[in-house]
Amino acid sequence: MYTNPLYRPPSEARSLIIQLTEGCSYNKCTFCGMYKDKPFRLRSPEEIRTHIEYLKQYDPRPDKIFIADGNFLCLSTDKILTHLQMVKSNFPSATRISCYAGPLDLIRKTSEDLTAIRNGGLDMLYMGVESGNDEVLKRINKGVTSKEMIEAGKKAVKHGFTFSCMIISGLGGDELSQAHALDSAKVISEIDPQYFALLTLNLEPNTPLYQQVMKGEFTLMSPDDIMIETYKMIEALSLTNCVFRSNHVSNYVNLSGILNKEKAAILKKIKVAMSSRDYTPEYFRRL
């Protein structure tokens, strides 16, 4: 019933996943192997009907729903609204519907589009910012600048979506680590989302960046250097009331707290972990 591989944010672990689209219509980021072998498409009405009937047997009264795959928001606003209505009428118990949001899709939508989509029942968006540094964004082929990333994020927040941003530690390598830390802190602070997740670079062999590592064109950072970068990034953040999580399987140290309120405690935890080199082992990061 699902076309694999299937991805969802860690915080959607208990949500019902409804796969309305497959793949990512952009699919050009050099570090991302999620949908490299899965061309983007909107599933046919017949496929969606069968999928929904199957899901209803398995989980008829979900509390939360996550719409997969990569970028449901790239569809036309009319199509998004039709599908949201269909999801809501089949699963009226759901109190939250969420999906991934690409920055380009958010930028393309007008204010009227986003208001209609928010009112149509889409509550939460997850956007991969990846880095706030323009050179890193260019090298990973993200397709937007840091300015556009801020524009996309602010648009989502302004239109009432609960908003979650993700940054990837180590994405600039040693060369751009300092700029990646400080510029990412700047972009996340400007957007001021309700949720901020920090993951650590963990490459699949089917990605262009993995090939660059194999050719010696990009060097993965050591756990110590990743933690120095993390410390700098968190220290430079200025957030109103943001749930921070860095407890993904890719992370060397599990961190969480409210930013900025609990910044001092998070920074202290990083220092303690660094002094004892208490890091998640590499084999576990690849599970």
Q: Does 9 bind ligand SF4 (CB under 6 A)?
A: no
Span from 28-36, 44-52, 158-166, 236-244 in contact with ligand SF4 (CB under 6 A): 28-36
Beta strands (DSSP E) in 150-224 are 162-169, 195-200
In sequence order, which residues have a C-beta less than 8 Å from that of residue 270 and are 6 or more positions away?
Answer: 227, 230, 231, 234, 253, 255
Size of the site for ligand SF4 (CB under 6 A): 11
- Residue 99 vs 116, nearer CB to ligand SF4: 99
Give the Cα separation of 56 and 90 in Å (integer).
8
- Residue 24 vs 274, nearer CB to ligand SF4: 24
CB contact at 8 A, 139 and 170: no
> Which residue among 16, 18, 20, 32 contacts ligand SF4 (CB under 6 A)?
32
Beta strands (DSSP E) in the chain are 16-19, 21-22, 41-42, 64-68, 96-100, 124-130, 162-169, 195-200, 242-246, 255-259
Minimum CB distance to ligand SF4, residue 140 (Å): 8
Q: Does 26 bind ligand SF4 (CB under 6 A)?
A: yes
Give the Cα separation of 48 and 68 in Å (integer).
12
Q: Restricting to residues 147-206, which ones interact with ligand SF4 according to CB under 6 A?
A: none
- Residue 177 vs 207, nearer CB to ligand SF4: 207
- Residue 204 vs 235, nearer CB to ligand SF4: 204
Residue entry with tokens 């449901």: 72
Cis peptide before 45 (omega within 30 of 0): no
> Which residue among 16, 20, 34, 242 contacts ligand SF4 (CB under 6 A)?
34
Instruction: Report residue 175 CA to chain centroid gap.
Output: 24
Q: Does 128 bind ligand SF4 (CB under 6 A)?
A: yes
Q: Does 102 bind ligand SF4 (CB under 6 A)?
A: yes
What backbone phi and psi angles, to 5 degrees, belong to 259? -110, 135
Q: Does 70 bind ligand SF4 (CB under 6 A)?
A: yes
- Residue 68 vs 116, nearer CB to ligand SF4: 68
Minimum CB distance to ligand SF4, residue 156 (Å): 15
Minimum CB distance to ligand SF4, residue 99 (Å): 12
CB contact at 8 A, 98 and 118: no
In sequence order, what DSSP letters do the residues of 42-83 get, joined into one string?
A: EPPHHHHHHHHHHHHHH-SS-SEEEEESS-GGGS-HHHHHHH
- Residue 101 vs 226, nearer CB to ligand SF4: 101
The residue ranges that bind ligand SF4 (CB under 6 A) are 24, 26-29, 32, 34-35, 70, 102, 128
